[in-house]
Amino acid sequence: MSSGLPDFEVDEQVLGKQLFDCITDLFPICRSITGDGVRETLARLARVVPLTTHEVPSGTPVFDWTVPDEWNIRDAYVKNARGERVIDFRRSNLHVVNYSVPFRGRMSLEELRPHLFTLPEQPDRVPYRTSYYQRNWGFCLSQNQLDALAEGEYEVCIDSSLQPGCLTYGELTIPGGSTEEVLVSAHICHPSLANDNLSGAVIAAHAARRLQSLSLRLSYRFLFIPATIGSIAWLSANEARVPGIRYGLVLACLGDPGPLTYKRSRRSDAKIDQAAIHVLQQLGEHEVLEFSPYGYDERQFCSPGFDLPVGRLSRTPHGRFPEYHTSADNLEFIQPAQLAKSLSACLEIFEVIEKDRICLNRKPNCEPQLSKYGLYDPIGGVAESPEFRMAILWVLNLSDGRHSLLDIAERSGLRFRQIALAADALSEHGLLENVQ
Amino acid sequence: MSSGLPDFEVDEQVLGKQLFDCITDLFPICRSITGDGVRETLARLARVVPLTTHEVPSGTPVFDWTVPDEWNIRDAYVKNARGERVIDFRRSNLHVVNYSVPFRGRMSLEELRPHLFTLPEQPDRVPYRTSYYQRNWGFCLSQNQLDALAEGEYEVCIDSSLQPGCLTYGELTIPGGSTEEVLVSAHICHPSLANDNLSGAVIAAHAARRLQSLSLRLSYRFLFIPATIGSIAWLSANEARVPGIRYGLVLACLGDPGPLTYKRSRRSDAKIDQAAIHVLQQLGEHEVLEFSPYGYDERQFCSPGFDLPVGRLSRTPHGRFPEYHTSADNLEFIQPAQLAKSLSACLEIFEVIEKDRICLNRKPNCEPQLSKYGLYDPIGGVAESPEFRMAILWVLNLSDGRHSLLDIAERSGLRFRQIALAADALSEHGLLENVQ
Amino acid sequence: MSSGLPDFEVDEQVLGKQLFDCITDLFPICRSITGDGVRETLARLARVVPLTTHEVPSGTPVFDWTVPDEWNIRDAYVKNARGERVIDFRRSNLHVVNYSVPFRGRMSLEELRPHLFTLPEQPDRVPYRTSYYQRNWGFCLSQNQLDALAEGEYEVCIDSSLQPGCLTYGELTIPGGSTEEVLVSAHICHPSLANDNLSGAVIAAHAARRLQSLSLRLSYRFLFIPATIGSIAWLSANEARVPGIRYGLVLACLGDPGPLTYKRSRRSDAKIDQAAIHVLQQLGEHEVLEFSPYGYDERQFCSPGFDLPVGRLSRTPHGRFPEYHTSADNLEFIQPAQLAKSLSACLEIFEVIEKDRICLNRKPNCEPQLSKYGLYDPIGGVAESPEFRMAILWVLNLSDGRHSLLDIAERSGLRFRQIALAADALSEHGLLENVQ
């Protein structure tokens, strides 16, 4: 993915299509927190960027939890008296309650009802339901479908298996000059739901692909994991790595039409919070949420024993769009342009944490005579803009060893990229040095 | 007052009537900063809750002040030429300037005028005036009354006494497990004025009555005192007790139709401030005032030499309602429901300071598997509500030894009661422990 | 300037006229960053208040800069073929680009055009342009003038000199009881522009004149300097004095109709910031700007090597009024009343930093009995106002050794003058003492 663009920038038109196509490819797979759907998803993501796949055996204790048995499913249906599949897994994997135990039987509609789940307030949509830790079985269908079912006997089949196996997750590390690590995590356990969270997984993979082509200061670790149990399993197996994690982002729900939304880490003023909020402010309409112990895997990364500086980048937060966890979270709900802008924002956040540093003005008494260095009213080049001239003045004024370039960007209201360019130009002329 | 309700909750319907009846009983008494009116008031309050009465002799030096002579009054009037009482203490004790020296004489209306006080802007109301430290006498009447007075000679009588005696106040202590003390103070020096401050005195007495039925962590001290000179006298005699006072509330003007109002202590971020503001926020419409060195006895408790963590709970602040210090501050101005809600709020504040504590999550790495403990999707019981589930997550996430339960309630936006219930449930399952 | 007014107050009617007349006198002089125009300006300001004039030779190194050659100009014009002066320095010194090198020649309009500067968007105004550090020459004219020029040959003359000489600036020190210094600076390098900055220079001179008549705690240093190179030259020659500077104000653009505006020092919460903002808040409509490394000589005083507590007092900030740096910044643009109010505000800021101090309540336990001292309901005198009574209570309550009188003014919302009066009255009665 070598492009003619500066390091952390992307061609949003090209990327939007690539991201959408990738999601389209992955959409039909029936994923869960374990099983072959996860393996197939990771195999296809590995075409974007090379991933390592890890298998954690069922029964492995992970903190207060235990890795569950592995679930796989081949088919599931409810047939009416005429043998017609009135509920059919082959039409949508959402029709089966995820992690349903194997079942075969015949029963009346009344007996079946406790196993049927609908959304009465959105009568044409199929809900997404799971039952990971309570052994049960069930079907999801639209309220309209349910209303059309006649009394009578039905044949029920869930051709699944739930037995010792493994929990599967993908991992990718991109080493940088420093051992300080950036953790990027996306959950990959949802079946045919597009925004939640193929959008996050696919953007993570493409962000990793771009970072692989760059010379990096920080090291990056990407995790493609089942929600909750996946992050718990990873943290349990990698406690020694935790102190090296200095920044982190959970990527989720990034393709819908809503504005970019950043949820602060538990620390609330970590460098990743400062960087992400700065980038979103510069990009325009956005929302910043305070930390809360609810949501996606930030719940685990930000548990008090770890308290990692991990925030979450989303668009409309989960639960705030009516399509959430329904059959309407499909390929029509996500937009290529929104996916591309999410990726852009993600890379710009990485750019900030990569390039942020503390510099020292080497001529701190009064302003230097900038015109001597071609930095005041220069003709041609980037230096032409008034923003660049202000960036030069801000960097000089605040490079006293106490303000990082990101601090300067924040205080000046200028985009970090502009501040970093100014710092580079001042360094070239010997007016600025990096603090050791 | 044993009720079927949880510890700090009251039946507002029942209590509203009790509070109002108690105020109705006390309303006619002519109180002042000294004298038999105070004694009678304390005697009747002692039917609600047992009080100790203290007598401080006139002439006792108390910091920069001296306890004044004791004032008592039997009768007072102004009679016209026909012998009719045109101003009559027997109709309302507000008609005499409180602390008027004894006087008998005959004079023209012109000579009398400098001793007559009205409210020209509220022409049908009688003002409340005092002259404690300047020896003087006078009458208060409505502007309409004054306008109706004919020229001619009047007979004036103030049958009062002002001579060495005592300053009287009431005190009640309720010991708890700790010697840390909560100071609750209400002024009882105003004559027939209902909101200012029979409301505060009667609510204090009923709050004490309820606390007496509970097992308490903190010790409570209730003072029923004349304003200013009473708190000064108490502080002067009890300097050694001051360091034990960790929380405090002045109760005043709590029956009018306005919203609950909390005035911060001089420290502005004491635990009592945090607790009171949290409770008022949860209860709905309210107002928070910054500290100022004006108002009721918080002026003395918050003088710089003491700087006690004492705030003030009121409804409409004094001086902001037109009925303030007039004959319109009567039994029609106060409402049983408002009185009961004030008492509820007061008790809920005590509940917060009683139950607040710092806990430690015993499984701080990742979330515990709450469903194992029946704390996630439990069926039945308090745990059913989504608020309770969020409270569980917040308590686990922030119980890191640095956040008290009140801090967690504040940050989560959940009611302290909900947070405390969640902490109790987590402790029962061994997931939480109290910090030593 | 002995007046019947209290120390730091002025008769705005009298002063407004004096300030305006002084500006009118100085307006026609052609000033620049060096040359006889500066000398003449300083000579006339010395009639208001005695100034010392300093001369810094061309070629003197001052930090990263070098004092430039001295520029003087006698005449300049562009004549058309009929010998008429179509652009004429004698009509306005703005017509010549300031620091234009000597030039004589004949050329076509096309050849002349690159040397002509207009404001197309304000077609009847002449812009103000300089070229201090790039040797060049040019003329400024209105767009309408330019549009009226016929094709043809023109005679061009700039009868200037640019050769080794001196940079001239004025300085005045007013010693106070302490060596702590207040720096007041105004730039005097602009030719016939009234608001920017004859307003600042003339207000500085009159403020100095008033301070000279007073007994002062602080020492004051007034600088009348060419912008940028002047402050750099002063700082370069006076590095040893810098640590003594504890407060500072740059005065600029103080006569226009806009509201008073204070720009914070780089430190943002220095005592001068607190004092200036308090005064402006008390005076009514105003604006407070955060520090930015752009503007006038605060750029140099607040460079990171010095980081002086120097803010800027202006009305409409430079660049935000369309008259800025045009021929419309003339005597009609400034108003005597605005000038006088600016001077008043400046002096009131000095009053605050002069009188601010930390006091200690000598009777900190409870309130003193103020009526004993005639400080509660006194009859007659300043003590009559409710503001004064509140000021007394605030000073007593917060004089705990941790709050200065300015802190108390801020927290109470009362004017510093009222707080200082209350502190004086309490000190007189032995209730307050100054902290050593």
Residues B385 and B387: their CA atoms lie apart, in Å, by: 5
Residue B382 has pLDDT above 50, yes or no: no
Can you tell me which residue has the tokens 């007593």?
A: C396
Q: What is the pLDDT, as a whole number, of residue C383?
A: 44
**pLDDT value for A386:** 87
Report in angstroms the alpha-carbon separations of A350 from A183, A412, C173.
11, 20, 54
pLDDT at residue C7 in the model: 87
Q: Which of C109, C114, C77, C123 is nearest to C96 (CA)?
A: C77
Average pLDDT over residues B67-91: 97
- Do residue C64 and residue A390 have CB atoms under 8 angstroms apart? no
How high is the pLDDT of residue A378?
41
Residue B380 has pLDDT above 50, yes or no: no
Question: What is the pLDDT at residue B436?
Answer: 65
Residue pair B409/B391 in contact (Cβ under 8 Å)? The answer is no
Looking at the complex, does the CB of residue A33 fall below 8 Å from at least one CB of chain C? no
Looking at the complex, does the CB of residue C292 fall below 8 Å from at least one CB of chain A? yes
Q: What is the mean pLDDT of residues A95-99?
A: 97
What total number of domains does chain C contain? Answer: 3
Residue bearing tokens 């050769």: C163
Q: Is C372 in CB contact (< 8 Å) with chain B?
A: yes
Confidence of residue C125 (pLDDT cuts 50, 70, 90): very high
Inside any domain, residue B227 = yes
**B300 to C412: CB separation less than 8 angstroms, yes or no:** no
A369 vs C64, C292, C293: nearest CB: C64
Chain B CA closest to residue A61: B369
Q: What are the CA-CA distances from residue A30 to residues A27, A37, A49, A90, A131 (Å)?
A: 8, 5, 22, 10, 15
Task: State which residue of chain B sits closest to A62, comparing Cα positions.
Answer: B366
| Mean pLDDT for chain B overall | 95
Instruction: Give me the pLDDT at residue C377, please.
Output: 58
- Nearest chain B alpha carbon to C389: B294
B179 in the same domain as B316: yes
Residues 257-276 of A with CB under 8 A from B: 266
Domain of residue B345: give its range.
12-35+47-55+166-354
* Chain B residues touching residue A299 (CB < 8 angstroms): 367, 393
Partner residue facing C366 (CB), from B134, B235, B294: B235
Residues of A in contact with B394 (CB under 8 A): 292-293
Chain A residues with CB under 8 Å of C305 CB are 361, 364-366
**Is residue A42, in this structure, part of any structural domain at all?**
no
% of chain A at pLDDT higher than 90: 93
C199 and C130 share one domain: no
Report the C-alpha gap between C173 and C187 in whole angstroms. 17
The whole-number pLDDT of residue B407 equals: 98
Examine the domain organization and report whether A26 and A89 are in the same domain: no
Spatial distance between the Cα atoms of A225 and A170, rounded to a whole number of angstroms:
6
Residue that is last in its domain, among B148, B163, B178: B163
Interface of C with B in 314-353 (CB under 8 A): none
Please tell me whether residues A170 and A302 are part of one structural domain: yes
- Pairwise CA distance, residues B196 & B183, whole Å: 20
pLDDT bucket at A1, cuts 50 / 70 / 90: very low
Residue C339 has pLDDT above 80, yes or no: yes
- Which of A64, A185, A234, A267 to mutate to probe the B interface, most B CBs <10 Å? A64
Q: Do A369 and C133 touch (CB under 8 A)?
A: yes
Q: pLDDT > 70: what percent of chain B?
A: 97
Q: Does C114 touch chain A (CB under 8 A)?
A: no
Domain CATH code at residue A125: 3.50.30.90
Rg of chain A, C-alpha, whole Å: 25
Among the listed ranges B1-15, C154-168, C184-198, C313-327, which one has the minimum average pLDDT value?
Answer: B1-15
Q: Which residues pair with B73 in a beta bridge?
A: B160
pLDDT given at position B189 = 98
Q: What is the mean pLDDT of residues A231-238?
A: 98
List pLDDT tens digits, range A184-234: 999 999 999 999 999 999 999 999 999 999 999 999 999 999 999 999 999
B-C contacts (CB, under 8 Å): 63
Contact C397 B305 (CB under 8 A): no
Q: Residue A61 domain-assigned?
A: no
Note the pLDDT of residue C318: 80
Query: B274 and B143 in one domain?
Result: no
Interchain contact A397–C (C-beta under 8 A): yes
C311/C413 same-domain check: no
Write phi, then psi, for A203 (nearest 5 degrees): -65, -40
Q: Is the pLDDT of residue A111 over 50?
A: yes
The per-residue pLDDT for range A136-174, each reduced to its tens digit, is 999 999 999 999 999 999 999 999 999 999 999 999 999
Q: Assess whether B103 and B22 both reside in one domain.
A: no
pLDDT of residue C236: 98
pLDDT tens string C6-65:
789 999 999 999 999 999 999 999 999 999 999 999 999 999 999 999 999 999 999 999
Contacts with B134 from chain C: Cβ below 8 Å: 371
In angstroms, the CA B11 to CA C28 distance is 84
- pLDDT of res. A34: 98
Are both B259 and B319 inside the same structural domain?
yes
Same structural domain for residues A262 and A283? yes
Mutate to test the interface with A, among C63, C264, C300 (most CBs of A within 10 A): C63
Last residue of a domain, one of A324, A354, A384: A354
What's the pTM? 0.93
Beta-bridge partner residues of C68: none
C218 and C366 assigned to the same domain: no
Q: What is the pLDDT of residue B378?
A: 40
User: C303 in contact with A at a CB cutoff of 8 Å?
Assistant: yes
From the candidates C99, C229, C265, C303, which should be mutated to test the interface with A, based on the most A CB atoms within 10 A? Answer: C303
Average pLDDT over residues C136-146: 97
Q: Does B215 touch chain A (CB under 8 A)?
A: no
Higher pLDDT, C435 or A209: A209
User: Has residue C350 been placed in a domain?
Assistant: yes
C393 contact residues in B (CB cutoff 8 A): 293-294, 299
Residues C303 and C381 placed together within one structural domain of the fold: no
Residues C219 and C353: their CA atoms lie apart, in Å, by 11
Please tell me the distance from the alpha carbon of residue A18 to that of residue A20, in angstroms, as a whole number.
5
The Cα B33–Cα A346 span in angstroms is 70
Give the per-residue SS3 of C334-396.
CCHHHHHHHHHHHHHHHHHHHHCCEEEECCCCCCCCHHHHCCCCCCCCHHHCHHHHHHHHHHH
Using CA atoms, how far residue B119 sits from A51, B111, B125, B253, in Å, is 85, 19, 7, 21
Q: Considering chain A, what is the average pLDDT of its residues? A: 95
Say yes or no for a CB contact (<8 Å) between A64 and B368.
Answer: yes
A60 domain residue, yes or no: no
Rounded CA separation B173/B178 (Å): 13
CA dihedral over C397, C402, C406, C407, signed as positive or negative = negative
Q: A233-270 burial by CB neighbour count: b if 16+ within 10 A, else e?
A: bbbbeeeeebeebbbbbbbbbbbbebbbbbbbbbbeeb
Distance in angstroms (rounded) separating the CA atoms of residues B410 and B277? 10
Average pLDDT of B79-88? 97
Give the model's confidence band at A2: pLDDT under 50 very low, under 70 low, under 90 confident, else very high.
very low
**What is the CATH number for C309?**
3.40.630.10
Q: pLDDT (tens digit, 9 = 90+) per residue, A32-67?
A: 999 999 999 999 999 999 999 999 999 999 999 999
Q: B130-157 burial string, b = 16+ CB within 10 Å, else e?
A: bebbeebbbbbbbbebbeebeeeebbbb
> Are the beta carbons of C303 and A412 separated by less than 8 Å?
no
Helix (H) or strand (E) holding C233: helix C229-237
Residues 123-142 of B with CB under 8 A from C: 133-134
Looking at beta carbons, which residues of chain C come within 8 Å of B303? 364-367, 396-397
Pairing type for strands C245-251 and C181-187 reads: parallel
The verdict on residue B5 lying in a domain is: no
Of B361, B369, B390, the CB nearest to A304: B361
Mutation target for B interface from A33, A63, A239, A263: give the one with most B CBs within 10 A: A63
Q: In chain C, whose CA is at the least distance from the CA of B267?
A: C398
Q: How far is C408 from chain B (nearest CA, A)?
A: 11
List the chains bordering chain B where 3 or more Cβ pairs fall under 8 Å.
A, C
Mean pLDDT throughout C215-225? 97
Q: Which two tokens stand for residue B411?
A: 């940050």
Q: Is the pLDDT of residue A351 over 50?
A: yes
- In angstroms, the CA A230 to CA A233 distance is 5
Number of residues assigned to chain C: 436
Q: What's the confidence (pLDDT) of residue B374?
A: 86
Distance between CA atoms of A283 and A315, rounded to whole angstroms?
13
pLDDT digits (tens, 9 = 90+) for A369-424: 998 998 875 443 444 588 999 999 999 999 999 999 999 999 999 999 999 999 99
pLDDT, chain C, mean: 95
Q: Are residues C264 and C138 in the same domain?
A: no
User: Are B266 and C397 a contacting pair at CB < 8 A?
Assistant: yes
Report the CATH number at residue A370: 1.10.10.10
pLDDT of A6 reads: 77
B337, B354, B371 - which closes a domain:
B354
Q: Is residue A6 part of a domain?
A: no
Q: What is the pLDDT of residues B176-231, one digit of tens each?
A: 999 999 999 999 999 999 999 999 999 999 999 999 999 999 999 999 999 999 99
Residue of chain C minimizing CA distance to A378: C134
Instruction: Say if residues C230 and C167 touch (Cβ distance below 8 Å).
Output: yes
**Separation between Cα atoms, residue A73 and residue C345, nearest integer Å:** 80
Look at C304 and A397 and tell me if their CB atoms are within 8 Å: yes
Percentage of chain A modeled with pLDDT above 70? 97
Residue B220 counted as domain residue: yes
Contacts of B412 in chain A (CB under 8 A): 292
- For A61, other C-beta atoms within 10 Å of its C-beta total 10
